[in-house]
Structure formats: structure tokens, C-alpha cells
Amino acid sequence: MPYDHGSIRSIYHVREYNIRRLSLLSKPDIFLSHDWPRSIEQYGDTQGLLRKKPFFRQDVNSGNLGSPPLMGLLQTLRPDWWFAAHLHVRFEAVIIHGDGEQGPGSRNPPAVPVNPDEIVISDEDIEGDLVTEAVSLNEVRPITTQNPDEIILGGEEEFVEAPGSVIPRSETKFIALDKCLPHRAFLEIVDVEVPHSSGIPTEQTTPLLTYDPEWLAITRAFHQYFTTTPQQATYPDELTARAQVSAELEWVKENIVREVPNDSSKSPLCVDNCQIFVRTAPGPGSEGSAKLQQPPWYTNPQTVAFCSMVGIENSINPSSST
């Protein structure tokens, strides 16, 4: 803070900084996103989707439905499950990855023309802020020319398999659900097996939210590239980035990860042992006449605690506004 018109839009977009960090993860079991990965409709019942949402046809035909960076992540990370929302319709698809081929294979749907222009949703049942939200929200591309501070994402599929690497065969099951309204498919139960490598004791009955050491390492490695201004430092190439993450993982193991006690709730990786989630600002309706003014500054103790644990500067929420 203080915010200007450009930063007000920029703060609720997914940035290239975040896409690059996510692309360095090992294969996750589940990935959740708001927007759909671009062209995901080609892996399911496309015609059935268009019967429900005929106004999608132009975007489907132009190859512009969904987010390109998210499709890049899907092809890079190859999670078992991908859940999304945003378009207010139930849709499922299955994406097959690899088949023992070398390097990036022909996992994409048939090529369709690419429309470089942003397409804005205007369906009657997409309400509120979604009316002004672009289909490719996560693409972080300006919708108008009045936002010079918008951070434009390029090279969104940079972190993919290097040519010559063998891609094991796997599949990603994609599911998106409808709006939470009567007679709409807005709720679904999916059983997912807990991986043996999760580290969760089989006798554990109470779910625990824990930090992932690899993500902590990625957070440390990429903190030097975080910016609160429109100017972005040059990102490292993939090999350099992965080497940085590997080095930081050793730091995380030495300084955060310790021998897990019999009681998993006492583990240093248990979120509750670091971040105590408490109310830090007045709730909605307390703004009064100050609604149109710059918001007051509230330091978030959860952010302070996390940065202290990981050993990084609190760049977005320091103890006093500067």
C-alpha cells in the first residue's frame, strides 16, 4: 500500500512468479485451480459442454478457453487429479501423459487456431466479479490498455520436460463443478488414496495441515525474485532454479525439519505449531465512511510467523507500512 488503479487489479491475478514456483514441484497427487487449463475441453465431451454452454463455442473454436499457464503446469506436473471452478458447469476430462516417448510428446488435443485477444465472459449466470473476469484470468494479461502495472506472463510453459527425458505413462483426471444452486451439479465426493510417501502415520485419525519441505525450499529459493513493483528481476533458467531449490532443501532439513515425534501434531511441519490463525482486522461492514479511502494497515501475524520460520524477509506485510 498505497494502491493505485493498476495494483488493485494486479493483486488478485496469478503472477508469473507463482507459475514458475509451482512448476518446480515434484508430481502432486491433487492440484486445485480457479480457472480451467486452456483447451482442457478437448479431452472430454466437448459437444456436451457446448450444449450446456453454447456461448463457449467461439472460445473453444479459437483455442482460447481457459488459462495457458495452467495447461503448462498440468503437462509439467501431471497430477493424478485436477479440480477447477470458474465456468459454472460440471465437466470432466482425462488427460493421458506420455507412453514411454522421449521428451514432450503429443499429449495435446488437435491444434486449433489461437486468438491472442482476451475473451471476457458475459454469461447471465456468471455473476458479480466474474462478469469482469477474463476466461484466462491466470494468464495475467491486461484486459484493457489502462493498466500499465499489469504483470504480463510470458514463457508460461518453460518448465517442462527436457528433450530426451522419458515420460512415464500416467493420467490426470479433471473435474469442474457447477454453481451452488438447486438442481445443479455443485457437489461431488471423490475418494483419493493417501500415498504411502505422505509421512502420515496410518493410525492418525485427525487430519493435520502440514508444510511441505519441498515447497518451503522453493519459497526460500525464489524469494529473491519476489517484487512489489512492476519491475521484475530476471528469473533463472530451469537448471539454475532447480539447483537453488536443492540447496535450500538442505537448509530446510537442517533448520526446520527435525525427527518427527510419535505425536504428529508436535511435528515442526505442523502448520498449527507455527501459524496461529486469528482475526487481525475488523470484519465486513465496519468501514463506515472510509469505504472509498485507502485501507488501514494491519500486520498479519501468520505472515510474520511464516517468514520467521523460513528465514526470509517479510516483504509484503512488515510490522509497519513503509
> Per residue in 205-237, pLDDT tens?
677 888 999 999 999 999 999 988 888 889 999
Say whether both 89 and 185 belong to one domain. Answer: yes
Flag whether 198 is in a domain: no
Say whether both 128 and 210 belong to one domain. Answer: no
Say whether both 72 and 133 belong to one domain. Answer: yes
Say whether both 234 and 188 belong to one domain. Answer: no
Say whether both 59 and 169 belong to one domain. Answer: yes
Which alpha helices (H) appear in 53-147, and where do they start and end? 57-62, 68-77
- Which helix (H) or strand (E) segment holds residue 92: the answer is strand 91-97
pLDDT of res. 127: 38
Q: Which residues contact 164 (CB under 8 A, 6 or more apart)?
A: 102, 103
CA angle (262 as vertex; 260, 263 as ends), nearest 5 = 95
The predicted-structure confidence for 107-130, as pLDDT tens digits, reads as follows 444 433 333 343 333 344 443 333
Say whether both 211 and 186 belong to one domain. Answer: no
Domain stops at, among 137, 165, 193: 193
Reference 107, options 155, 21, 39, 19; nearest CA is: 39
Say whether both 57 and 125 belong to one domain. Answer: yes
d(CA 289, CA 149): 28
Domain stops at, among 161, 193, 225: 193
Domain stops at, among 193, 217, 239: 193
In angstroms, the Cα distances linking 15 to 12, 166, 251, 275 are 9, 30, 26, 25
Say whether both 213 and 239 belong to one domain. Answer: yes
Range of the domain at 97: 1-193
Say whether both 1 and 38 belong to one domain. Answer: yes
**pLDDT-flagged residues of the chain (< 50):** 101-163, 322
pTM greater than 0.85 (yes/no): no
Flag whether 131 is in a domain: yes
Domains identified in the chain, total number: 2
Say whether both 94 and 223 belong to one domain. Answer: no
In the three-class reduction of DSSP (H, G, I as helix; E, B as strand; rest coil), residue 223 is classed as: helix
